[in-house]
Chain A
Amino acid sequence: MLTPKSADKCMRTLFWGAGLFILALLAAFLIYLLAKGLPHLTPAFLFGKSSDIMAGGGIGGQLFNSFYLLLLSMVISLPLAVGAGIYLAEYARETYLTKAIRLSVESLATVPSIVLGLFGMILFTTQLHLGFSIAAGALTLVLLNLPMLVRVTEEAIRTVPATYEEASIALGATKWQTICRVVLPAAAPGIMTGVTLTAGRVLGETAILIFTAGTTTSRFLFDPDVTAGGETLAVHLWYLMSAGLVPDREAISDGIGATLILAILLFNLLLALPLRALSKRQG
């Protein structure tokens, strides 16, 4: 039987083990992905056209589609999400309507992305006749962005000190003027942090895009046509692993893995951390 003191020591060691395991596993993943993928990341690979059968294809079209879809979906969802965030933080009293809205946002956040993908397939791809296209993909991605963005906007607005608003109202500004000129600028760093973290998730999203943006790309590189097929990096990685015909599919997969990880490190560390520090300094 353990004495209470030695049980204490034992458990402490166990939790140290868990914590260090978590850090070590992440480090191992990152080193593995980057070590395997970085040697493939030549300009010809990153910006070249992909090939269906021959070895030596690039990922230029997929790279472009990934960021293009991200940009389009953000442009559509950000104003809507900020609007809903403003309502929940500034206007909402605890009515049934507000409760219903909160529950909807929470529920939307947990709807599996494959279900969102099938909804997009019914509504945008089939009923609105958009086909497997960048437009259908971007519209479906909006559903994924919205709940995350609404939550971060509401939180960011709530951290703005009430005295800012009271001062503005006391000077005779309307509520709307106060929101536009005082609250939103003060909340902007917090909102931007949320946008970058959401962007990181959108970049790696796959299930939602297979049946909306499809698994093909435009014949032309860097084609801004929204009716073209919108295969992204993540979808291409899945497609190669499950149905790819090119002989060098492992090399390409390694390269895509490293590209995705680099993009996510960029969003998470280089953009989000400084923004978070900025919003802390203000708050």
Chain B
Amino acid sequence: MTGRNNTTRTDAKSWHRRQLFFDKAGAYGVIACSVLMTILLFSIIFFVGRQGLLTFQAVSPIDFFFSAKWEPTAGAFGAASFLAGSLLTTLVAILLGAPLGLAGAIYLAQVAPPAIKKILRPAVDLYVAIPSVVYGYMGLTLLLPFLRDNLGLPSGFGIFSAGVVLAIMIFPTVLSLSADAIHAVPSPLEEGSIALGATWWQTLRHITLPAAAPGITTGIILAMARAVGETMAVEMLIGNTPQLATSLFQPTATLTSNIVVEMGNTPFGSAWGNSLFLMAFVLLILSLFLILLVRHFSARKEAA
């Protein structure tokens, strides 16, 4: 600062003060942005929950959760068939998708040569990036005609079709998280097993996979959360018929698909509309529960 007069010195001082002010304001600004996340989450719970719980003014909780009679125009709001549809579709998707994801993860982490690894990572990202309507569209134009021609089904709509397409949509989640978990297993563990004469597969099965289990479980739970909440592909393939499915190939409906199908026809604030919000609230609670479950498993991973 030598050779400068007093005005620049006071300028420098006020500049300095301004910087200190920015420093404080910036800190408060970023805290505000972060707190906004919590506020948003709570307002989602509050608004959707309040609208949904209004249903119980007109419908008893027992009817809503345990009756499968869904005739909104006659005042019957039993959502059991949607609950069952959601759970069964998710189950089919996990049973098909989790093994594929895990096998892919093992391939990516331990078997694939480097050249294929380089393609497989972006390929898995691309699976995630394909929009769910496009999956639904492929299900309608590829899977359903295939089922009709080869299995002699009348329409092909139902839990099976929706579950198969969902499995393709969620296996990348299992794959990425499991591959990370397998990578993270300390290599001395595996080397010790190999040194004792175990084969690669014995090592994988008895050492690596058990050590990676919390990470793999996390992947499967997150995949479940995706499957339960997935809407568009399921809506296009489930058949959208409010009835309890007695077979995997019978048109039925899920919580998400029924919201999309009926929300447009219901007046806002009617018992019918509110019951759809209640279904959304059930989905919300379910996904929050799954996140707490994930937290539980990742806490175990850190403790291990």
B256 on the A face (CB < 8 A): yes
Tell yes or no: B277 within 8 A of A by CB: yes
Residues 12 to 58 of chain B near chain A (Cβ within 8 Å)? 19-20, 22-23, 25-27, 29-38, 40-41, 43-44, 47-48, 51
B127, B171, B201, B287: which contacts A8 (Cβ < 8 A)? Answer: B201
Contacts A8-B199, A84-B36; A112 near B44 (Cβ below 8 A): no
Q: Does B245 sit within 8 A of A, measured CB to CB? A: no
Could you count the A-B residue pairs with CB atoms below 8 Å apart for me: how many are there?
265
Q: Mark B233-276, 1 if CB is under 8 A from A, else 0.
A: 00110000000000000000000100110011000100000001
Among A32, A174, A257, which residue has its beta carbon within 8 angstroms of that of B23?
A174
Helix, strand, loop or mixed for chain A's interface? helix
A127 to B, closest residue via Cβ:
B47
Task: Contact check, B22 vs A174: say whether CB atoms are below 8 A apart.
Answer: yes
- A25 at interface by CB-CB < 8 Å: yes
Choose, from B63-71, B73-81, B136-144, the stretch at the interface. Answer: B136-144
B47 touches A119 (CB 8 A): yes
Contact of B116 with A by CB under 8 A: yes
Contact B38 A101 (CB under 8 A): yes
Task: Report yes or no: B37 in contact with A84, Cβ–Cβ below 8 A.
Answer: yes
Is A260 engaged at the interface, CB distance under 8 Å to the other chain? yes
**Contact residues in A for B136 (Cβ distance below 8 Å):** 238, 241
Q: How far is the CA of A207 from the CA of B259 in the complex (A)?
A: 10
Is A74 engaged at the interface, CB distance under 8 Å to the other chain?
no
Chain A: CB-nearest residue to B226: A110
Q: A211 near B: Cβ within 8 Å?
A: yes
A206 contacts chain B at the CB level, 8 A cutoff: yes
Contact status of A114 and B131, CB under 8 A, knowing A84-B37, A87-B33, A100-B38: no
Known: A106-B291, A114-B231, A118-B280. A80 touches B44 (CB 8 A): no
Give the complex CA separation of A114 and B132 in angstroms.
12
**Could you tell me if B123 and A26 are in contact, using CB atoms closer than 8 angstroms?**
yes
CA distance A18 to B110 in the complex (A): 13
- A116 contacts partner chain B, Cβ-Cβ < 8 Å: yes
Given contacts A26-B123, A111-B284, A206-B133, contact A116 B44 (CB under 8 A): yes
Of A40-48, A53-61, A197-205, A218-226, the segment with at least 4 beta carbons within 8 Å of chain B is A197-205
Q: Which of A92, A112, A123, A261 contacts B231 (CB 8 A)?
A: A112
B122 at the interface (CB under 8 A from A): yes
Q: How long is the Cα–Cα vector from A159 to B199 in the complex, in angstroms?
A: 37
Contacts of B27 in A (CB 8 A): 91, 175-176
Decide: B23 and A176 in contact? CB cutoff 8 A.
yes
Interface residues on B, range: 35 or more
Interface residue tally of chain A, by bracket?
Answer: 35 or more
Complex contact A83–B29 (CB within 8 A): yes
A267 CB within 8 Å of chain B: yes
User: How many Å from the CB of A239 to the closest CB on chain B?
Assistant: 10
Q: Which residue of A lies closest to B140 (CB)?
A: A241
Task: Judge whether B236 and A114 touch: CB under 8 Å.
Answer: no
User: A87-B34, A204-B134 are known contacts. Are A119 and B48 too (CB-CB below 8 A)?
Assistant: yes
Min C-beta distance of B294 to chain A, whole Å? 8
Q: Contacts of B134 on A, CB cut-off 8 Å?
A: 33, 204, 234, 237, 257, 260-261
Residue A38 CB within 8 A of the other chain: no
Nearest opposing residue in chain A for B287, CB measure: A110
Nearest CB in chain A: distance from B41 CB, A: 4
Q: A72 on the interface (CB 8 Å rule)?
A: no
Interface residues as binary, B123-154 with A (CB distance below 8 Å gives 1, 0 otherwise): 11111111111101110111000000000000
B200 near A8 (CB under 8 angstroms)?
Answer: yes
B112 near A: Cβ within 8 Å?
yes
Separation of A84 and B33 alpha carbons in the complex (Å): 5
Q: Report Cα–Cα, A103/B288, bound state, in Å.
A: 10
Given the interface pairs A111-B284, A112-B231, A264-B131, the reply to whether A119 lies near B291 with Cβ below 8 Å is: no
Chain B residues with Cβ below 8 Å from A91 are 27, 30-31
Contact between A15 and B32 (Cβ–Cβ < 8 Å)? no
Can you name 8 A-B residue pairings with CB atoms under 8 Å?
A: A83-B32, A108-B41, A174-B22, A175-B27, A179-B26, A201-B129, A234-B134, A268-B125
User: Residues of A with Cβ closer than 8 Å to B?
Assistant: 4-5, 7-8, 11-12, 14-16, 18-19, 21-23, 25-26, 29, 32-33, 36, 79-84, 86-88, 90-92, 97, 100-101, 103-108, 110-116, 118-119, 121-123, 126, 143, 146-147, 150, 174-177, 179-180, 197, 200-201, 203-207, 210-211, 234-235, 237-238, 241-242, 253, 257, 260-261, 264-265, 267-269, 273
Give 16 new A-B contacts, CB below 8 A, not counting A111-B229, A114-B283. Answer: A15-B106, A22-B127, A26-B127, A36-B141, A82-B33, A100-B38, A107-B291, A110-B225, A112-B228, A115-B283, A119-B43, A122-B48, A176-B25, A238-B235, A253-B137, A260-B131
Chain B interface residues (CB < 8 Å from chain A): 19-20, 22-23, 25-27, 29-38, 40-41, 43-44, 47-48, 51, 100, 103-104, 106-108, 110-112, 116, 119-120, 122-134, 136-138, 140-142, 168, 171, 175, 198-202, 204, 222, 225-226, 228-232, 235-236, 256, 259-260, 263-264, 268, 276-277, 280-281, 283-284, 287-288, 290-291, 294-295
The 4 closest A-B pairs by CB, nearest first: A204-B131, A112-B229, A83-B33, A18-B103
